[in-house]
A = this chain, B = another copy of it.
């Protein structure tokens, strides 16, 4: 695992190289996705069934064989063992409670002239949630995508999840049941994204599509952006741990593992002012690694993109964290609140030694869909606000039209837009 120190002369360049990640779009993928999207747009269900049978090795005769009702989601829920059902319900309740605080409210005010100005907040009518199939099918992602939409008051939530070889994941379907998903289609890939964006005979057209997927899904989302809304196209997952050297090193090693086990390009970085402590974490890594079922992935990830970085002090660690703008930031220090005001850029901050990232991933309450690849400089976690939108309200009074009309007239003439000026002037008293 790479060892760096902020005192190295070339530290800034080495840090930049460590973080570099090219998300170049593949023209071959783009072309394949364009063809699939156009075909689904033109032929609807027929194309969707064909692509699904081909790519997912299913043998559906029609969309009826690729559609799950609420009853079937409920049946999957009841097939789970009681402790799993309870964990799912407990996580959902906490996520729901947190997200309810994010609800935006409409507001308005009248100015001195009786002119009303405001902002009306409404929920989206219908959204689509993409859930990856196979090994990366995560029930927690179903909760994290569907619950904010539900809390926002979205009218209908449509989920798509591919079932390669026809294999359904009860945990995923149960999560959809708990989260209040209205309908599930067992389709995936670019064809599923196109069906949601354009609508087919069976799949209703949605207003926004959220959720992670492979390169084809990402390319399809970029392609339909504008026809529908999309969430961010996510990069590899990342954790940055700032530790004062007083946390059990096994805990920190395992926190780094829990990021690294996602995939070979995930990134796990530790910042610490103590070289001794860094050595202890390294020893914990060596000790704990052999017992990990996903050892090969963890090793590749830590080897490719991980780093243990010695810093001068915690203040410098925070400055570096602001530059990195990590998806997950663990503040494993004695007084985490002290450092908070100086931390500007991160998707989520996990404060104090007890707050492992994995608690936030599943059940603390906040969303686990977070900005990656330094986009926390300008982007936010997925939230209720992604499923609500605003409409400006203006109701100008007679008196207001006199005052505003004068201003608008001057500025519109300044821009050479005479009709704009005249529309304002017509409302002026003669």
The answer, yes or no, to whether A370 is at the interface (CB within 8 Å) is: yes
The answer, yes or no, to whether A8 is at the interface (CB within 8 Å) is: no
Q: When the two chains form their complex, are residues A258 and B417 in contact, meaning their CB atoms are under 8 A apart?
A: yes
Closest B residue to A262 by beta carbon equals: B417
A228-B351 in contact given A356-B423, A418-B293 (Cβ < 8 Å): no
CB proximity of A92 to chain B, nearest CB, Å? 10
Q: In the assembled complex, which residues on chain B have CB atoms less than 8 Å from the CB atom of A116?
A: 351
Q: When the two chains form their complex, are residues A90 and B362 in contact, meaning their CB atoms are under 8 A apart?
A: no
A419-B251 in contact given A360-B394, A411-B362 (Cβ < 8 Å): no
Docked CA distance A260–B348 (Å): 46
The answer, yes or no, to whether A53 is at the interface (CB within 8 Å) is: no
CB proximity of A374 to chain B, nearest CB, Å? 9
The answer, yes or no, to whether A334 is at the interface (CB within 8 Å) is: no
A102-B117 in contact given A251-B423, A349-B393 (Cβ < 8 Å): no
How many chain copies does the complex carry?
Answer: 2
Please provide the chain A residues from 108 to 149 with a CB less than 8 Å away from any CB of chain B in the complex: 109, 115-117, 119-120, 122, 124-125, 135, 138-140
With a 10 A CB-CB cut-off, give which of A294, A346, A361 has the most chain B CB atoms.
Answer: A361
With a 10 A CB-CB cut-off, give which of A138, A349, A397, A407 has the most chain B CB atoms.
Answer: A407
* CB-contact partner of A408 in B122, B229, B358, B383, under 8 A: B358
Q: When the two chains form their complex, are residues A392 and B370 in contact, meaning their CB atoms are under 8 A apart?
A: yes
Q: When the two chains form their complex, are residues B375 and A379 in contact, meaning their CB atoms are under 8 A apart?
A: no
The answer, yes or no, to whether A35 is at the interface (CB within 8 Å) is: no
Q: When the two chains form their complex, are residues B407 and A87 in contact, meaning their CB atoms are under 8 A apart?
A: yes
The answer, yes or no, to whether A405 is at the interface (CB within 8 Å) is: yes
Docked CA distance A139–B363 (Å): 48
Q: In the assembled complex, which residues on chain B have CB atoms less than 8 Å from the CB atom of A377?
A: 124-125, 207, 229, 389
The answer, yes or no, to whether A381 is at the interface (CB within 8 Å) is: yes
The answer, yes or no, to whether A57 is at the interface (CB within 8 Å) is: no
The answer, yes or no, to whether A248 is at the interface (CB within 8 Å) is: yes
Docked CA distance A406–B337 (Å): 26
CB proximity of A424 to chain B, nearest CB, Å? 5
Q: When the two chains form their complex, are residues B87 and A411 in contact, meaning their CB atoms are under 8 A apart?
A: yes
Docked CA distance A347–B84 (Å): 44
Q: When the two chains form their complex, are residues A414 and B293 in contact, meaning their CB atoms are under 8 A apart?
A: no
Chain A 82-93 interface mask (CB, 8 Å, partner B; 1/0):
011001101100
Q: When the two chains form their complex, are residues B375 and A419 in contact, meaning their CB atoms are under 8 A apart?
A: no
Q: When the two chains form their complex, are residues A140 and B415 in contact, meaning their CB atoms are under 8 A apart?
A: yes
- Per DSSP, chain A at the interface is mixed
Docked CA distance A373–B227 (Å): 8
Q: When the two chains form their complex, are residues A358 and B421 in contact, meaning their CB atoms are under 8 A apart?
A: yes
Q: In the assembled complex, which residues on chain B have CB atoms less than 8 Å from the CB atom of A84?
A: 410-411, 414
Q: When the two chains form their complex, are residues A135 and B348 in contact, meaning their CB atoms are under 8 A apart?
A: no
Q: When the two chains form their complex, are residues A347 and B138 in contact, meaning their CB atoms are under 8 A apart?
A: no
The answer, yes or no, to whether A216 is at the interface (CB within 8 Å) is: no
Q: In the assembled complex, which residues on chain B have CB atoms less than 8 Å from the CB atom of A421?
A: 358
Q: In the assembled complex, which residues on chain B have CB atoms less than 8 Å from the CB atom of A401?
A: 354-356, 359
In the complex, besides A87-B406, A119-B366, A350-B396, 16 extra interface pairs with C-beta distance below 8 angstroms are A124-B377, A228-B378, A298-B419, A349-B391, A349-B393, A354-B398, A358-B420, A360-B394, A362-B412, A362-B424, A363-B407, A370-B392, A376-B389, A380-B389, A380-B390, A380-B391
Contact residues of A with B, CB < 8 Å? 23, 83-84, 87-88, 90-91, 98, 101-102, 107, 109, 115-117, 119-120, 122, 124-125, 135, 138-140, 171, 207-208, 226, 228-229, 233, 248, 250-251, 254-255, 257-258, 260-262, 292-294, 298, 336-337, 340, 343-352, 354-367, 370, 373, 375-381, 383, 385, 389-398, 400-401, 404-408, 410-412, 414-424, 426-427
20 A–B pairs (Cβ distance < 8 Å), ordered by A: A84-B414, A226-B373, A258-B420, A261-B419, A293-B416, A294-B417, A348-B392, A354-B400, A356-B396, A358-B424, A359-B396, A359-B408, A359-B424, A362-B424, A365-B394, A366-B393, A366-B394, A367-B392, A378-B389, A385-B385
